[in-house]
Structure formats: C-alpha cells, structure tokens
Amino acid sequence: MTIQSFFPPQRTLMGPGPSDVSPRVLSALARPTVGHLDPTFVGMMDEVKSLLQYAFQTKNQYTMAISAPGSAGMEACFVNLITPEDTVVVCVNGVFGMRMIENVKRIGANVVIVEGTWGRAVEPQALESALQGNPQANFVAFVHAETSTGVLSDAKTLCQIAKQHDCLTIVDAVTSLGGVELRVDDWQIDAIYSGSQKCLSCVPGLSPISFSDKAAEIIKNRDSAVQSWFLDQSLVMGYWSGEGKRSYHHTAPVNSLYALHESLVLLQNEGLENAWARHQLMHEKLASGLSELGLTFIVPEDERLPQLNAVHIPDGVDDGKVRAFLLDEYNLEIGAGLGDFAGKAWRIGLMGYAARNENIALCLSALKKALKTAQQYA
C-alpha cells in the first residue's frame, strides 16, 4: 500500500481544545523556516515575549513560550520551583487540579489537598483553613479555569490568601489566558502557565509561561539540579533572554512560534479587555440558545467559565451517538465529560477565533437536530 498525503476534514472545533485557528495564524505557519538562532528569529522571539507580557498583564522578565503543550508548562512550574523539602497546598475541583497533585508527588514534596466540589469554584475559606492548619506550607497551586468542568475560580482572592501566609502561587491558566480577566502582576501570581491552543486560537504545542522575580530567584539559587533537563528554566532562560547572541538549548519549533506571534498580534489588535468582553457576550448568546433546547448548565451562573460551557446530558440521550452525529453530519466537534462527568456532560468551547456568532448558530442548530434524532431512536 502506498500512503498518500494527509488532508484533514474542515471541522468546526467547539470542544475543550484545540480551538478553531484563524486563517491568519494558519497562514503564518507556511512562512519560510529560518534557523532558531537566526537574528531575525531572535528578534521575533523578543516580540513574542512582549506580546505574552501584555496577554498575561505582567512585566515579568521571565516570560516566554515553552516548546511543548500546556502540560509541560505545568510540569516546568512544579519541577523548577518545588523540592522534596517543600509543602504544597493544591486546590482540586477537577481533573487538572489532580494533575497538579501528581506533579507534587513525583517530586517527592509534601502535598496538602484542598478538596473541592466538581462543578464549583475553589472555596477561598477552604484554602484559608488549610493554610492555617499547615503553617509550614510555602506554595499554593490551583487551576484558574478548570477545563474539565467549566468553572472559573477567583484567582485574585486565592492569591491574596496565599500571600497572607507567605506562600508563592502556581496557577493553571491554560483555558483562561485571553478569554477572561487575568492580571498576573496585580494579583501577585508567582508562576503561571497556559496553552497555545485554547483562547489564543493558535496551533497546539506551545505553553506560554511566566515567573515573578521571586520565583525566578528560587530557580537561579536552587541547591539541587532540576530533575528535568529539558524543562530546566535556568537553561531555557538563556535562550529567551539577553541582548544579542542567545545560548543554544534546543531547536525551537520555529513555524509554530510564527503562529503564536500572529495569534498574539491578533489579540493585541482586538484589545485584551475587548477579547474578554467578546467571550462573555458569546457565552450569553450560547447559554440562551442551550436553555431553549432544554439543556441545563452544571456550573452556577456566577462561577461559569464563558469559554467552556459544561451542560448536563439529558436523560436517555446517548453521549457518544450525539457527538458522532454532530461530527458526521455537521463537521462539528464538542467535548465529552472527563472524570466524574464522563458520560454525564458535554463541554462546548467558545475559545478565541471560535467565539463568534456563526459558530453559535451552527452549534445550536446541529444540537437541536441531534437531540431530535436521539429522541426518535431512544
């Protein structure tokens, strides 16, 4: 058998990610590849850094994009900052908080778990109680936007509580960056990571990351080597920082960084607060239409994540058959539930370029047909 070139179908991506990618971003991928130490590429890296500082709302010098997806950004934060002697309070209200726990355990550090309810925001008082009961804690980690449940937690308040107990914060912003209010400096976040494929509407495979000066000092002054050579930020910083010549660390994904640059230019041109407002407006339109279809949200209105809408699957409706119908008949992808919500919820994304009126119209029309078909054959 002779294998031919691969041409994927044209899908509308309204799941938990990746999201629809702007034609401008896809076009940027096709630009000529240059060397990863080429002076013109190094100049573009500086622009990516500046654009990420804008997106994160930070002046942190150590702001960059890791050459791997958001899960690597998560691991980079944990392995660079935490040692086996540390105690980390991890707030869990979904799948991705559980992954934070796994990172802490693999480092061999002490973990204190603040167990929350799936489908609800992290409870600030629960964090306060955990820190009062564990005065030795020196880190607090939580997910700002829990993709598995569609919940937005109050990152500002959680960070204030952590600071009152002299703890550094590690924040998962994989689904929040570019979609909802996020202010790294104002909220005093010490380490934060995101993903290129969510509200930035870039191709998957990059993880924007930022460290405060205090966090960067910890990385520089570690007594032991970081357990991951590739994710050792004391080495990677030499590639992303400094004037003129950069130290070689790895071959960067050149064309993917072109795409990230373009996606961040689009965010800059729209205006960060305008992007936040657009995601909220599109969410409200989608929520109204879902209600008319008889679908109900898992998350209370004041805790909902606009760009990731988690709804209950109606009784008697086959999850897999509906999603397959949407994909086969409408080239539309929505997400299945994860963890406790597997088989019980759909996750409908409105991220970045996907957060627009025509996508909402398609989604509601297709879901209406799918539900009608499902009920006919129930």
Q: What is the pLDDT of residue 243?
A: 62
Beta-ladder partners of 331: none
Query: Cβ distance 80 to 219 under 8 Å?
Result: yes
- pLDDT score of 248: 87
What are phi and psi for residue 320, nearest 5 degrees?
-60, -40
Closest CA to 213 of 244, 249, 150, 168: 168
Sequence spans of domains, the chain: 12-17+272-376, 23-268
Distances in Å between the alpha carbon of 147 and those of 96, 178, 182, 212, 310? 8, 14, 16, 25, 9
Tell me the CA distances in angstroms from 335 to 14, 255, 293, 320, 361, one per residue in order: 7, 28, 18, 10, 17
Question: Six-digit token pair at 315?
Answer: 């009784």
pLDDT value at residue 258: 98
Inter-residue contact 150 to 304 (CB < 8 Å): yes
Q: Which two tokens stand for residue 259?
A: 């795409």
Asked if pLDDT for residue 278 goes beyond 90, the answer is: yes
pLDDT tens-place string over residues 29-44: 999 999 999 999 999 9
Residue 338 neighbours by CB distance under 10 Å? 19
pLDDT in tens, 174-213: 999 999 999 999 999 999 999 999 999 999 999 999 999 9
In angstroms, what is the C-alpha Rg of the chain?
Answer: 21
The domain 12-17+272-376 having CATH identifier 3.90.1150.10: the answer here is yes
Tokens 């597997």 locate to 342
The average pLDDT across 120-134 equals 98
Q: Is residue 253 within 8 Å of 67, Cβ to Cβ?
A: yes
Whole-number pLDDT of residue 246 = 78
Q: Please tell me the predicted confidence (pLDDT) of residue 20.
A: 96
pLDDT at 376 > cutoff 80? no
Mean pLDDT of 14-25: 96
Q: Choose among 82, 307, 63, 356: nearest CA to 189.
A: 63
* Chain length of the chain: 378
Which one, of 96, 76, 214, lies nearest residue 146 by Cα? 96
Average pLDDT of the chain is 96
Report pLDDT for 15.
97
Share of the chain above pLDDT 90, in %: 94
238 pLDDT tier (thresholds 50, 70, 90): confident
In this structure, whether the domain defined by 23-268 belongs to CATH 2.40.128.280 is answered with no
For the segment 308-344, what is each residue's pLDDT rounded down to a tens digit?
999 999 999 999 999 999 999 999 999 999 988 999 9
pLDDT in tens, 246-269: 788 999 999 999 999 999 999 999
pLDDT at 374: 74
Q: What is the pLDDT of residue 64?
A: 96
Could you tell me whether strands 345-349 and 308-312 are parallel, antiparallel, or unpaired per DSSP bridges? antiparallel
User: For 348, phi and psi rounded to 5 degrees?
Assistant: -110, 115
Nearest to 200 by CA among 369, 40, 25, 13: 25
For the residues 45-59, what does the mean pLDDT come to? Answer: 97
Model confidence band, residue 123 (pLDDT cutoffs 50, 70, 90): very high
